[in-house]
Structure 1
Amino acid sequence: MIDLRDLQRELLARHGPLGWWWPGEEPFEIALGAVLVQRSRWEQAAAALAALADAGLRKPAPLAAAEEERVRELVRAAGFPRTKPRRVQALATWWAARAVRAADLPDEALRRELLGVEGIGEETADAISLYCFRRPAFLCDEYARRALAARGAEVPGSYRAFARAIRPALAVAGFSVPELAELHGLIVEEGKLRGARGAAAPRP
């Protein structure tokens, strides 16, 4: 079993402290970024976020009520023009209706709700849980996969299997939520240094 505290110390020594790593001033903005960056570069997602802000549509209710064609034009920079407009509006609709109440749900119940929103898969659900709702979550993304495999850990092929396999190491490490956020950032910085690619890599 990999020692995640050792991994954290190693990466912290190499990259320095990152703090609360994912960019964004408000939880909904962070969640939007997590959807927009799927299969895209952060620069593309950031451009789409800026366009939504300029149009007054970076809040849940106005975005949910906007014409899909308008949203399509605004988020075009993030790619996938047939699916991403629908997905950001699905997120906005859920957020406007459920986010306040969902904040009181247990961790697994919150994650299940997020997974029920169109376009939110397991990695995005974990990112939103961690960075928007401050729930303990470890992002089992490609950066984490490569970082752990490079240190001799056996990493299962699927996201869900990886998440199950890492649970004992996480339990032993006993990270706080801020530590999990920083560890994710450190793993991504390490992956970028080593040339890996992943879906949730917000910083340039």
Structure 2
Amino acid sequence: MLEVSGLEAAYGESRILFGIDLSVGPGEVVTLLGRNGMGKTTTVKSIFGLLRPRGGQVRVEGQDLTGAEPHRMALAGLGLVPEGRQVFPTLNVEENLRATARPGKWTLNRIYELFPRLEERRRNMGTQLSGGEQQMLAIGRALMTNPRLMVLDEATEGLAPLIRADIWACLARLKAEGEAILVIDKNVDALTRFADRHVVIEKGRVVWTGTTAEILATPDVKDRFLHV
């Protein structure tokens, strides 16, 4: 589905990524892990064309889309739930969802069934939602593009425990339905309940990769690369 090889990126003269390799297969859930400032969001931006890579390749279902504009990545089947949610503040919930809609299995009714709270708040503006509701809306908006791969940058950052549980339940359901997912989050214990593989980056380089069974059997990975 998604293949990233040798990805390099920089902000001006400051290099951030030094040859990132990762892949997500059909129906697979892969995590991108690392401490703050290690290049996770830069990796996502480089994949989606929000930051033009300095080197490497981004391929979607075999097609080279390195540096392609964000709308081309969406048309190729990638849906993004960005860091900070970035819902449209001057649109209400339903307008936010309809703004990105493309034909497919994910319809307005299915989003409301997944997140009943959004239906209750469907006439509220984006700025009138709580942080948890905004994250539900950001996920729903990405699903309305009917992607083949969902990418979530900081899936539960700053959310209350009950809302986090709702988000994890949502992602587990998406996995059960065969959705491919690339997810960034700090809650490794929650991620290992449903993720297939994990990629850990440190200072813009991949320093460890393995299955859930392998990361659970290697506790020093969390101690060396993930704990603050």
Work out whether the TM-score is over 0.5: no
Select the structure that is richer in strand. Answer: 2
Which of the pair is proportionally richer in helix? 1
**With structure 2 as the length reference, what TM-score do the two structures score?**
0.28
